[in-house]
Amino acid sequence: KAGVTQTPRYLIKTRGQQVTLSCSPISGHRSVSWYQQTPGQGLQFLFEYFSETQRNKGNFPGRFSGRQFSNSRSEMNVSTLELGDSALYLCASSLASGVNTGELFFGEGSRLTVL
C-alpha cells in the first residue's frame, strides 16, 4: 500500500513569495495533518483536516493555510514568505482524526528554503 506522498520534496523561494505544498494520504485515510519542523522550534503542529473540514489548528499566523479535497488530498499554502518559514514541512495521514489517536503515518516532507 502506497505511503504518504508529499510534493515537492525540495523548493527554494524568496521572501514575499508564496508557496503551495501538496500531500496525498494513504488510500482510505481521511485525516491529514501538517507539521513544521525547524532546528530552533522543533516539531510544531500546524493544522488538521478531516473530511474536508479543518478540525484543529496550531498557533501559527494566518499566512499559513490549508485545505483538503474530496479525495482526501491536502494542500497547505504559505503566503508572504519570511526567512523564518524555512523548514521541513511534514504531512501525516490517519484513518480517524489523527490528532486524537496519534497513529499517524508521515510523509518524507517538503523542505522549503526561503532566501
Partner 1 sequence: AQKVTQAQTEISVVEKEDVTLDCVYETRDTTYYLFWYKQPPSGELVFLIRRNSFDEQNEISGRYSWNFQKSTSSFNFTITASQVVDSAVYFCALSNYGQNFVFGPGTRLSVLP
What are the residues binding partner 1 (CB under 8 A)? 3-4, 33, 35, 42-45, 56, 58-59, 88, 90, 92, 98-109
Smaller CB separation from partner 1, 41 or 80: 41
Smaller CB separation from partner 1, 30 or 45: 45
Report, in Å, the least distance between residue 97 CB and partner 1: 9
Query: How far is CA 83 from each of CA 54, 55, 114, rounded to the nearest angstrom?
Result: 26, 28, 5
What is the C-alpha to C-alpha distance for residues 72 and 92, in angstroms, rounded to an integer? 12
Smaller CB separation from partner 1, 80 or 100: 100
> Degrees (nearest 5) of the Cα angle 64, 69, 74?
45
